[in-house]
Amino acid sequence: MPTPTPAVNPVVPFCELIGHLGLASMGVSLRLQYLVCRLSIGITESCVKKQLLKVDPVVHAADHAELEERVMTLLAASAEGCETIVRGYIEEITQAQHRCLRAAFGMEEREAPALGLPFTPGVAVPRGRGAATVASGRE
């Protein structure tokens, strides 16, 4: 018996694309939010140390320069992290669009959905215990 060819629904690739785009945008927003939180914690810590150093007149200029260098390092690292996150986001979007176009134009083999299984005739099942006997606990 030949297996029926499943009907290709042209809407499914676009729904998958929307799903991939939604997940990618949520992922990038969470990553950027985490990066901003880490950056704000680091800069706040440096500002507190700077305020403490201003109180003490014995502090050397080297300590102030070290704090400034630390803030600049934090900013440079966060800019690099932001660039990496945005590049990953662009790559995810590009891959999702390619998959969508390949599927929409039939250039990609898609597996048959579970509902596309061929029909098989039913088999008689021997009659066992009835529901009433099972529910009452009598055998």
Q: Is residue 5 part of a domain?
A: no
Tell the residue number behind the tokens 């029909």, with chain if given. Answer: 119
pLDDT at 105: 82
Tell me which residue range forms the domain holding 71.
12-106
pLDDT for the residue 47: 85
Burial zone of 63 (CB within 10 Å; 0-12 exposed, 13-18 middle, 19+ buried): middle
Tell me how far apart the alpha carbons of residues 18 and 29 are, in angstroms, rounded to a whole number: 16
Residue-level pLDDT at 64? 77
Domain assignment present for residue 62? The answer is: yes
DSSP state of 108: S
Residue 47 in domain: yes
pTM: 0.63
Is residue 46 in a domain? yes
Q: What was the pLDDT predicted at 97?
A: 93
Q: Which of 1, 69, 82, 90 is nearest to 38 (CA)?
A: 82
Q: Is residue 138 part of a domain?
A: no
pLDDT of residue 78: 92
pLDDT reported for residue 126: 61
pLDDT at 8: 58
Each of the 139 residues of the chain gets a pLDDT tens digit; together they read 666 555 556 788 889 999 999 999 999 999 999 999 999 998 898 888 888 777 766 667 777 788 889 889 999 999 999 999 999 999 999 999 999 988 888 776 655 545 554 555 656 656 655 555 545 555 4
Is residue 136 in a domain? Answer: no
Exposure letters 74-90 (e unless 16+ CB within 10 A, then b): beeebeebeeebeeebe
pLDDT, position 10: 72
What pLDDT sits at residue 49? Answer: 83
Structural domain tally of the chain? 1
Is residue 131 in some structural domain? Answer: no
Kindly state whether residue 56 falls inside one of the protein's structural domains: yes
